[in-house]
Amino acid sequence: MHFNSKDIDLYASQKDYVDTAVVPLIELDLTASGMKASAGASEYLQSLTVILEKQFKGRILLLPPISYVRAADRTELGEQLKKELSETGFKHIFYLTTDPKWRSVEELDNVLWLPAIPTGDMDQSFKKSVMEDQLRQVLPLFTKEWTHHS
């Protein structure tokens, strides 16, 4: 489900079934040299999370991307996110990111780090097949988590 008022109404009435939150983490790099790569990574991550949401609409709530500047303290941000999410009823929380700095942050479990693929210059059908390949890599991680802790 998306983080909009219509889906949240449905979420509120179906809390038992929607037990997984997906949080995209996006680093904002606004320097002249890094901007394009940062935008590409953001585009990639958002497309991926949208098709992931489409596949698992009835079980995941896709939160809006958390964006932060390069200098942001990942550890602190991670702690804050974890605290906020712990007050909800989600049994499983996944963080998706292309930012390698999260790999060394111990606070968060289930951080799925994916290398960003620059999909911006691809044509529609090629982009779609690339994104579906990516999705196929991610899906088993979700189903595995669900079968292990349910």
Interacting residues with other proteins (CB under 8 A): 10, 14, 17-18, 54-59, 124, 128, 139, 143
> Residue 100 half-sphere exposure, CB side, CA atoms within 13 Å?
2
Shortest gap between Cβ of 94 and other proteins (angstroms)? 14
Contact 149, 91 (CB under 8 A): yes
Using the minimum distance from each CB to other proteins, give the nearer residue, 57 or 82. Answer: 57
Nearer to other proteins by Cβ, of 16 and 87: the residue is 16
Q: Toward other proteins, which CB reaches closer, 10 or 66? A: 10
Which residue is it, tokens 């059908």? 125
CB of 124 to other proteins, least distance (A): 7
For residue 27, report the phi and psi dihedrals to the nearest 5 degrees. -90, 130
Question: What is the C-alpha separation between 128 and 137, in angstroms, rounded?
Answer: 14
